[in-house]
Amino acid sequence: MKFTNRTLRIIKNAEFEAKKTTNIVYPIHLFLSMTQEKTGVCAEVNMYNPYLSEILNERFMALYTTNHEIGMVYEPFTINISTSTLQVLEIANSRMKRFNQIFINEGHLADAIFRSDDLLTRLLFEGLEVENIIGILCNPRDMLVSLKNYSVSIDLIDGINFRKAEQGDQTTLKKFVESEFGKGWLNSIENGFLLEEIPIYIAVDNEQILGFACYDLVRGRKGIFGPMGTSFSNRVQGIGTTLLHLCLKEMKELGHEYAIIGEAGPLEFYEKACGAVVIPKTININ
């Protein structure tokens, strides 16, 4: 399993919490660590639920006082984890693969905690605003990038041709998108090729498309970046980052002051690549 940097921080802090109590990492330790994380959507959970960690800690101390599980060794943890934590990791890993991603993030982890069939974990969250928490942590989120002072040196990659898509690329690009990501994005791609200036960039190697990125196509609105995707076998090479910056640069040149990244999955990627921030959700609080 591979984890984002933020998730690795969550794991490290979960171990710290576990050492104060059971000396074994349970799912609740992972979740409590999320509430202490001050970045991204984790910070938003604490903002809308300021007493959540206090409530969970009290419940945990009442429920786990007689637990004598030995636990198991599992990387990247440095102390033993419980069988329920292993189940959470396996569910998170399955969710990550389902979305064709390669790193487990905090959303995958939180979703797995709430999907766990572990009775003690379920009791900890009983009666709490779980749906609101899921909405913050587990669902794709819109992000915002300021283009007012946006300036970046775009790093091209040897052997890969980055260029605007042309009419003759339509069939090949649609086949690539469908084979790698399914049919969900095909409508946006087709709309792009109806325009005189096609707002799509592609990465090509030996006439084979490795990735693509679009703008001004989603929801029929201007100023929205996406969809974007890189073939699974060519991830973590910087292709997506280059495609992202080519689009953002052009969006700025067209006069956009902001770009919205619609329903972003890998939040941490966009935070690092272009300083994107999550647009806060409107939460119904009873």
pLDDT over 90, % of the chain: 62
The strand pairing partners of 278, in sequence order, are: 143
Distance of alpha carbon 67 from alpha carbon 81, whole angstroms: 13
Task: Show me where the domains of the chain are located.
Answer: 5-139, 145-278
pLDDT at 65: 66
| Residue indicated by tokens 């272009």 | 274
Q: Taking each helix axis as running N to C, give the angle between helix 239-253 and helix 267-274, from 0 to 180 degrees, rounded to the nearest 10.
A: 60
What's 68's DSSP letter? Answer: -
* Beta-strand relationship, 224-230 and 258-264: parallel
What is the pLDDT of the chain when averaged over all its residues? 90
Distance of alpha carbon 172 from alpha carbon 204, whole angstroms: 11
- Nearest Cα neighbor of 144 from 276, 4, 282 is 276
**Dihedral sign (CA 145, 189, 169, 239):** positive
How many residues are listed for the chain in this entry? Answer: 286
- Nearest Cα neighbor of 23 from 89, 79, 75 is 79
Q: Amino acid letter at 79?
A: I
98 C-beta neighbours (distance < 10 Å), count: 9
CATH code for residues 5-139: 1.10.1780.10
Q: Check pLDDT > 70 for residue 255.
A: yes
Distance of alpha carbon 56 from alpha carbon 63, whole angstroms: 10
Residue 136 near residue 281, CB atoms below 8 Å: yes
pLDDT digits (tens, 9 = 90+) for 147-172: 998 888 787 788 899 999 999 999 99
Q: 270 pLDDT band (50/70/90 cuts)?
A: very high
Distance of alpha carbon 53 from alpha carbon 123, whole angstroms: 15
Helix (H, G, I), strand (E, B) or coil at 172: helix
Q: Check pLDDT > 90 for residue 84.
A: yes
Query: Helical H runs in 2-118?
Result: 5-19, 27-36, 40-48, 52-63, 83-98, 106-115
Q: Check pLDDT > 60 for residue 283.
A: no
Q: Does domain 145-278 have CATH number 3.40.630.30?
A: yes
